[in-house]
Amino acid sequence: MKPPKAPYEKQEDPAIVPGAETRRISSLETPERVSEVPVFVDSWWVDGWPKSEDRSPTTYDGGEGWGYEDDMRRFCMKRHGWSVNGVFIDGHASNVKLGSLWELSWHLGYEPRKVKIP
């Protein structure tokens, strides 16, 4: 009997597609500033794919960001005043001001930028 593979490593997952590989969290490419990579952030929808060029919403009560454009709007709501809570890949949690959402490192192709929120 083969010993089981250690958790969180690259391994085959025949439940998805025979011969396909899945990537566990330890095999992800580690960004330089892991304290700026969000894993969970308050939002009004179950997911979001923020892009650097996403516009800010016209209202801050949730509900904007349907479709595939401006997904940052899903996170940009006045949940805790003018901020939301986030959990980051290094394990810490913090309060993030709405304008600072664009300054986070959401994914490898994301270019952080400054955005002014009223």
Distance CA 73, CA 64 (A): 6
DSSP state, 36?
G
DSSP state, 69?
S
Q: Name which of 10, 26, 42, 28 is nearest 107 in CA terms.
A: 28
Task: Report the predicted TM-score, pTM, of the whole model to 2 decimal places.
Answer: 0.72
Encode the chain (118 residues) as per-residue pLDDT tens digits: 554 444 444 455 445 555 555 544 554 556 677 889 999 999 998 888 899 999 988 888 887 767 778 889 999 999 998 999 999 988 999 999 999 999 999 988 899 999 998 7
Neighbouring-strand partners of residue 22: 11
Domain ranges of the chain: 1-30, 31-118
* Dihedral sign for Cα atoms in the order 92, 21, 50, 40: negative
Distance CA 101, CA 41 (A): 10
